[in-house]
Structure 1
Amino acid sequence: MTHFNEAILAELAPKGPLRAAINLGNAALARKRDDGTLEGISPDLARELARQTGRELETIVYEGAGKAFADAQNDVWDVAFLAVDESRAQKIDYTPAYVEIEATYAVRSDAPFQEMEQLDVPHAKILVAQNSAYDLYLSTELEAAEIVRAETPAASLDQFDRGGHDAVAGVRQTLEARYGGRDDIHILPGSITSIYQAMCVPKGRPAALEALTSFVEDAKRSGFVHERLEANGNGTLKIAPAAK
């Protein structure tokens, strides 16, 4: 178990409570129950961190990763759960990843695009959640298709349902939860990119980052991550490998 001394806690929870940003953009990682409480591996890790540090947990909920990242330098949260992306490294520092997830596309079954490579053509419109990991990736990889950005992952799916777009990008589990079993929607095989989900802290908290790195590695090694993924019905998610 990671040791959290006073010097570490001064960086990790400087206001007293442990303020954890929870991103609801991927239901496989975090979601609200009917009673308003949170479930998923990300809130489970936040609760376990609060238990080990002895600090009260204060959760700040965001509907998408972009909004959580936008608050990184606003003294709103102390730890967050976001996809690793180097373009964000000027404002936050990441631990090693705790899970690896896959992004893909959903298209209409009668669309001419039934393979990923077919979508990168002029006039193709692809919906994404703004500032999501797959938005950041596709922004550098697509050469011809038009990227249309919605405010949150849920908003991108709603826009796709209303028509006028050729595909919507998203985390595979989220797309399957929305469209699985529907004959009119096809979730493409393969992967746009692998997304590595990690904990992070605002830039300039080296002691907190080192302690969180140890915490994440302990959570993977001890079986905590595996146990909580199974308990939340997300056992198909891949646990990230140990850091080198």
Structure 2
Amino acid sequence: MIHHDAVKELAPTGTLRGGIVISPAPSAFFCTKDANGAPHGVTVDLLGGFAAMLKVPLALQVYENSGQLTDAVASGTCDVAFMPQDAERMKKVDFGPPYYLIESTYLVPAGSAIQSIGEVNKPGVRIIAIANTTTMRSARRTAPNATVTEVPSVDDITALARNGGGDAFALSHDSFVGLLPKLPGARVLPGHFQQVGVAVAVPKGRPDALHLVGELLADAKASGLVRRALDAAGFKDAPAAP
């Protein structure tokens, strides 16, 4: 049962202002724009589903990264969004449940002798990770004996993996979907060294709104909306969060 007061707290303007992050390549979290500039992706579908359940119009707000998105929700200019949950962000926004768990592991290039995540944590192993990400911080923490070099983008990772510029490349499982076809013989190591929930978030001080988005997400999982959104974005092997 959806209460009118909770809807008013979640969407005070009468329109649901939902935030998304646009990236050059899709992931289970990042959205992309089509040739006409229209955004597509998992979170676009989820926010559309939320608005439909609430019977309110949806206004999408587009951001370049999850830091900008966090600040928009924290300031109350954005009513609801999804973002990777971490301790820093929990100081700024209130999180409900996750729709997806980002699991980070390593890609090893063709010909590598490394078979497991544990074998990466050795002197002389060169880990390459993307700067200023939770994955990079976790790689440093969980593989203190290896060396970690930070690079700006996935394109840099692809180039280094091709030309022998590293031994283990740290990314999330869903990021490897688009990467593996470009790297013949490369392997993704089983398991993960980090797990982070991509969770629904609302501004602080809106307890009814927080409860309501938790219910909406539970409905979206039960109805198959989360599963369909992941499939439509090309992530048929990515499990929805329980």
TM range (shorter): 0.7 to 0.9
Give 1:28's aligned residue.
Answer: 28
Shift in Å, 1:205: 1.9
Shift in Å, 1:37: 2.3
Give 1:56's aligned residue.
Answer: 58
Give 2:16's aligned residue.
Answer: 18
Shift of the 127–181 alpha-carbon distance from structure 1 to 2, 3 Å rule, reads closer
Q: Which moved more, 1:218-227 or 1:188-197?
A: 188-197
* TM-score for the superposition, normalised by structure 1: 0.79
Q: Within the alignment, does 1:158 sit opposite 2:160 as a pair?
A: no
Give 2:240's aligned residue.
Answer: 239
Give 1:3's aligned residue.
Answer: 2
Distance across 2 between alignment mates of 1:201 and 1:125: 39
Give 2:91's aligned residue.
Answer: 90
Give 1:229's aligned residue.
Answer: 230
Shift of the 132–207 alpha-carbon distance from structure 1 to 2, 3 Å rule, reads farther
Superposition CA RMSD, Å: 2.8
Shift in Å, 1:140: 3.8
Map Cα deviations across residues 96-132 of structure 1 (whole Å, 9 max, x no partner): 1222343221222244544322222345443334454
Distance across 2 between alignment mates of 1:186 and 1:178: 11
* TM-score for the superposition, normalised by structure 2: 0.80
Shift of the 4–170 alpha-carbon distance from structure 1 to 2, 3 Å rule, reads farther
Contact 1:125 / 1:166 at 8 angstroms: preserved in 2? yes
Contact 1:103 / 1:191 at 8 angstroms: preserved in 2? yes
Give 2:186's aligned residue.
Answer: 185
Shift of the 15–168 alpha-carbon distance from structure 1 to 2, 3 Å rule, reads farther
Shift of the 109–27 alpha-carbon distance from structure 1 to 2, 3 Å rule, reads same
Contact 1:66 / 1:130 at 8 angstroms: preserved in 2? no
Shift of the 46–173 alpha-carbon distance from structure 1 to 2, 3 Å rule, reads same
Shift in Å, 1:212: 0.3
Shift of the 82–182 alpha-carbon distance from structure 1 to 2, 3 Å rule, reads same
Contact 2:31 / 2:43 at 8 angstroms: preserved in 1? no
1:210 is matched by which residue type in structure 2? H
Shift of the 126–15 alpha-carbon distance from structure 1 to 2, 3 Å rule, reads farther
Contact 1:160 / 1:167 at 8 angstroms: preserved in 2? no
Shift in Å, 1:67: 4.2
Distance across 1 between alignment mates of 2:191 and 2:123: 22
Contact 2:102 / 2:172 at 8 angstroms: preserved in 1? yes
1:61 is matched by which residue type in structure 2? Y
Shift of the 183–58 alpha-carbon distance from structure 1 to 2, 3 Å rule, reads closer
Distance across 2 between alignment mates of 1:68 and 1:128: 22
| 1:96-115 equivalence runs, <5 A | 96-111=97-112, 113-115=114-116
Give 2:128's aligned residue.
Answer: 127
Distance across 1 between alignment mates of 2:159 and 2:227: 37
Shift of the 24–85 alpha-carbon distance from structure 1 to 2, 3 Å rule, reads same
Q: How many residue pairs get matched?
A: 234
Which structure 1 residue ranges, 5 or more long, are not aligned?
Answer: none
Distance across 1 between alignment mates of 2:14 and 2:200: 19
Which structure 2 residue ranges, 5 or more long, are not aligned?
Answer: none
Give 1:196's aligned residue.
Answer: 197
SS at match of 2:82: strand
Give 1:73's aligned residue.
Answer: 74
SS at match of 1:44: helix
